[in-house]
Amino acid sequence: MSQLATPELVRILTEDSADYLQEALQVAFDELKIRGESLPDDSEVAGASHEEIANAYKHRETKCRDCGGKLRYAALQSGAEVVLSFFDTHELRYLEVDVCVSCKKVTLRADMESEV
């Protein structure tokens, strides 16, 4: 891992994480820290662990439905993460955001798996 370029380490921790053992992901994550680098801002949502980040990337679309451009995963924050409140069930869910780097379209969706 120490001989890989930083963009390759980021790709391993995000897009290709399903291809690696958890131990390898930890080594890649540690290597980024040694270099004084971190995952892109869109991956550092609410202090998530590298495993949580990898899982978020694995279960989302990576291409814009409109233009086919690459999507970046993000979260809305204003002092705290934005949460959806369903009035009928009093259920709270995180709001997830994808931003297309090509057409700049922003897509919002509810994370119906994680509990707040």
pLDDT at 57 over 70: no
Residue 55 identity (one-letter amino acid)? N
Which band of pLDDT confidence, cut at 50, 70 and 90, is reported for residue 44? very low
Does 79 share its domain with 37?
Answer: no
Does 27 share its domain with 50?
Answer: yes
pLDDT above 70 covers what percent of the chain?
78
| Cβ-based neighbour number of residue 116 at 10 Å | 11
Backbone angles phi, psi at 111, to 5 degrees: -85, 100
Does 55 share its domain with 1?
Answer: yes
Does 50 share its domain with 96?
Answer: no
Tally the domains of the chain. 2
pLDDT at 53 over 80: no
**pLDDT, position 40:** 58
Does 37 share its domain with 73?
Answer: no
Domain containing residue 85: 61-116
Domain edge (last residue) among 28, 59, 90: 59
Does 49 share its domain with 85?
Answer: no
Does 37 share its domain with 7?
Answer: yes
Does 11 share its domain with 24?
Answer: yes
Over residues 86-112, the mean pLDDT reads: 88
**pLDDT, position 104:** 92
Does 44 share its domain with 65?
Answer: no
Burial (CB count within 10 angstroms: exposed 0-12, middle 13-18, buried 19+), residue 51: middle
**pLDDT, position 55:** 61
